[in-house]
Chain A
Amino acid sequence: MRPLRRDASLETNPMSQQTTTNKATDSGPVVFRPEALAEYHEILTHYPESRAALGTVLWLAQREFGWISPAVEQYISELMGLPRAWVEGVVSFYSMYHRRPVGRSHIQVCTNLSCYLRGAEDIYGAVSKRLDIEAGETTADGKFSLERVECLGSCGTAPMLQLNDQFHENLTVEQVLDLLGKLERGEKL
């Protein structure tokens, strides 16, 4: 298969999750910055009813606050005029909204069938061993978290993992260890 022509300007920064200005903590105020609030109002214009914007607004909240804490759910529910239970119901249904903080490098290894056939367990094992964490865990320094995920639509370039928003495909164990080394040293990917 010919490699895809990927456009760097459209790639999201793998480190973007750490550049948030308003981390959700139990004590700090949870409120959108004016820029984010402007984005929120723009998002509402895409839909004939405001509730339909909820999924997109949760993405915005996750970008701003790092994860969807109970305080963030409360804020979104008040902002959008939706019951808190409704917001939590939606957050908990979808696997990509973080209900607890994740590492700055959130590593998601696909272990579904096509990746499994091409060595996904070796990839998962290498990451787990190197970071000394299992799926669902975050390293003590908050730098890395690890997850097993289901098919990411990258079966022709298996095995693969997703690092924050970025796909890393056609992986070997050596390449994965190299990637982790670069992340540990804070080098550009």
Chain B
Amino acid sequence: MQEKVLLRYRDLSVDLKMIDNYIESGGYSTARRVFSEIAPEKVIEMVKESNLRGRGGAGFPTGLKWTFLAKNTGKPNYLLCNADESEPGTFKDRAIIENDPHQLLEGMMISAHAIGCTNAYIYIRGEFAYGAEVLKRAIAEACEKGFLGNDVFGLGRELNIHVHRGAGAYICGEETGLIESLEGKRAHPRIKPPFPAVYGVFGCPTIVNNVETLACVKHIVERGPAWFKAIGPETGPGPKLYGVSGHVRNPGVFELPMGTSLREIIEVHAGGMREGRQLKAVIPGGSSVPILRADEIDIAMDFDSVAKAGSMLGSAGIIVMDDSTDMVAALRRVSHFYHHESCGQCTPCREGTGWLEKIVTALDEGRGTEEDLRKLDNVAKGMLGTTICVLSDAAAMPVRSFLDKFGEEFRAAVRRSAGAAAA
């Protein structure tokens, strides 16, 4: 059994939410060492050296992102933790937030030191009311100990971390949507460039990192980049949280080396299919990424390997479907979601998500035609790469891949409709 790092709470008998337990088990010693001994440039160097890639979905190299920060602007730099976890099928960050909040705070402290930030925010989705309370208490404890506030570790340095609770909008997970929301606006994503590292929240240089990414930073600095790089593929290594949901015996979050095979995750860790059922399809990285057939699961779950297989690692939210699943009905759920969550700013997305849902609903309700299938693919095609943010692509990709991989079921739905109409 591999040692758990991010989900260490599962191997310990103590409650890591309590700061004394966290300190007792070695917590905050790395942040203290970083603040007193390690230059910010050195921390950035370590994170770059580790090849850590962002765990929110895009997989962008974290160290590189940090180096894009505008210099000598005369403005404060901000660190924002993206805890908006909203991609359907994703529930990994919640495991860290609710069970080991100090791990996240320590990762944020180290990252804030690296990028020269004195005020950081955790943007947590509104529905995680419990998680927000856990974080607020953890921050209050850390302030009481003098680890946060105006005199961090008695070194005369300032760092405050605030919890900002969202109020229900998927688009806040997009980093510029998150920034707009934090500024007290509707969460309309911004046109890039300028990127947040140059012009972010309050017009200041800003770094937005995912919860799991920031937790990884703590371990990279604590154990060294070489340790991190030795776990999984060198081009995007490290311990990784995989969330498995759907038709498996044992759904949940599993910490495994980056690049663990999808088959092993499903069959071994998630316990395989339910009694008497066969695997039919898997969405490997949250509901927006292209779907895989049952015969395509012998792939390593890392950024590059999943991309090579024609999908994306995304948020590593693995949604498993067995042979009882009606793919038209399943796609209807997905298309409804993206229509509901389109912010309405760009026409291809605002109108396109509506058309996708309308057509898939017609197919599911036995009102579909051959023409609908062509229209569906055509609308989806027109939504790729035509908007300010990728929500439009996120809505279109599942449609195109469901049609590509399970087209026969959609054609059968059309035949059933035609049959019913003739009768």
Chain A residues near B (Cβ < 8 Å): 1-2, 4-7, 10-12, 46-49, 51-56, 58-59, 89-90, 93-97, 111-114, 116-118, 150-158, 162, 165-167
Binds A, one of B180-188, B189-197, B220-228, B360-368: B180-188
Q: How far is the CA of A53 from the CA of B184 in the complex (A)?
A: 6
For residue B17, CB closer than 8 A to chain A, the reply is yes
Contact of B130 among A6, A55, A59, A117 (CB under 8 A): A6
**Per-residue interface assignment for chain B, residues 156 to 187, with 1 indicating a CB less than 8 Å from any chain A CB and 0 otherwise:** 00000010111111100000000001111111
A1 to B241 Cα, complex, angstroms: 13
Q: Are A155 and B251 in contact, with the CB atoms below 8 A?
A: yes
Q: Would you call A153 and B90 a contact (CB within 8 A)?
A: yes
In the complex, are the beta carbons of B88 and A151 less than 8 A apart? yes
Contact between A155 and B330, CB atoms less than 8 A apart: no
Are A55 and B337 in touch, CB under 8 angstroms? no
A95 B169 Cβ-Cβ under 8 A: yes
Residue numbers in B under 8 Å from A96 (CB-CB): 126-127, 167-168
Q: In the complex, are the beta carbons of B202 and A49 less than 8 A apart?
A: yes
Instruction: Report the bound CA distance from A97 to B170 in whole Å.
Output: 15
- The answer on a CB contact under 8 Å between A55 and B202 is no
Q: Which residues of chain B in 69-89 are interfacial with respect to chain A, using CB atoms and an 8 Å cutoff?
A: 76, 85-89
Q: Give the residues in chain A near B341, CB-CB below 8 Å.
A: 150
Chain A residues with CB under 8 A of B166: 55, 94
The residue from A5, A49, A56, A90 contacting B165, defined by CB atoms under 8 A apart: A56
B267 CB, nearest partner CB in chain A, Å: 16
Q: Which of A1, A118, A165 contacts B250 (CB 8 A)?
A: A1
Find the residue from B129, B181, B186 having the highest chain A CB count within 10 A. Answer: B129
Contacts A49-B202, A150-B170, A165-B130; is A93 near B186 (CB within 8 Å)?
yes
Report the nearest A residue to B186, measured CB to CB.
A93
Of the listed stretches B229-237, B317-325, B408-416, name the one at the interface; the rest are far from the partner chain. B317-325
- With a cutoff of 8 Å between Cβ atoms, the chain A residues found around residue B245 in the complex are 114, 117-118, 155-156, 158
Contact A150 to B337, CB < 8 A, known contacts A11-B130, A56-B165, A155-B90: yes
A6 — which chain B residues lie within 8 A by C-beta? 98, 130
**With A53-B184, A150-B170 given, is the CB distance from A113 to B88 under 8 Å?**
yes
What are the residues of chain B within 8 A of A153 when measuring CB–CB?
85-86, 90-91, 93-94, 125, 127-128
Nearest 7 interchain pairs by C-beta? A1-B252, A95-B168, A155-B245, A94-B167, A54-B184, A96-B168, A114-B245
A2–B250 Cα distance when bound, in Å, is 10
Indicate if the CB atoms of B330 and A89 lie closer than 8 Å. no
Q: Taking the complex as formed, is B296 at the interface, i.e. its CB lies under 8 A from any CB of chain A?
A: no
Contact with A along B121-135 (1 / 0, CB 8 A): 000011111100110
For the complex, is B340 an interface residue (Cβ under 8 Å from A)?
yes
Nearest B residue to A7 via CB reads: B17
- CB pair B253 A12 closer than 8 Å: no
Number of interface residues of B (CB under 8 A): 65
Is there an interface contact between A151 and B253, defined as CB atoms closer than 8 Å? no
- Interface assignment of B145: CB less than 8 Å from any CB of chain A: no
Contacts from B to A (Cβ < 8 Å): 9-10, 15, 17, 76, 85-91, 93-95, 98-99, 119, 125-130, 133-134, 137, 162, 164-170, 181-187, 202, 243-247, 250-253, 283, 287, 317, 319, 321, 325, 330, 333-334, 337, 340-341, 343
Point out the residue from A56, A89, A117 that lies within 8 Å of B164, measured CB to CB.
A56
What's the nearest-Cβ distance from chain B to residue A138, in Å?
18
Across the interface, name the chain A residue whose C-beta is closest to B167: A94
Expressed in whole angstroms, the minimum distance between the Cβ of A12 and any Cβ of chain B is 6
Would you call A1 and B251 a contact (CB within 8 A)?
Answer: yes
Given A90-B185, A96-B126, answer yes or no on A10-B137 (Cβ-Cβ < 8 Å): yes
Residues from chain B with Cβ under 8 Å of A1 in the complex = 250-253
A47, A55, A58, A112 pick with most chain B CB within 10 angstroms: A55
| B17 close to A113 (CB less than 8 A) | no
A10 touches B134 (CB 8 A): yes
Using A51-B184, A152-B127 as known contacts, list a sample of 12 further A-B pairs with CB atoms less than 8 Å apart, ordered by residue number in A.
Answer: A1-B251, A4-B95, A5-B15, A12-B130, A47-B162, A55-B167, A90-B184, A113-B283, A113-B319, A114-B88, A153-B85, A157-B251
Residues in A neighbouring B134, C-beta threshold 8 A: 7, 10
CB-CB nearest in chain A for B126? A96
Complex contact A155–B137 (CB within 8 A)? no
How far apart are the CA atoms of A150 and B357 in the complex, in Å? 15
Which residues of chain B come closer than 8 Å to A117, judged between CB atoms? 245-247, 319, 321, 325, 330
- Contact partner of A162 (CB less than 8 A), chosen from B127, B164, B317, is B127
Nearest-neighbour CB distance to chain A for B351, whole angstroms, equals: 19
* Alpha-carbon distance A7/B165, docked complex (angstroms): 19
Contact of A52 among B127, B182, B252, B333 (CB under 8 A): B182
Contact of A12 with B167 at beta-carbon distance under 8 Å, contacts A51-B184, A112-B337, A154-B91 already known:
no
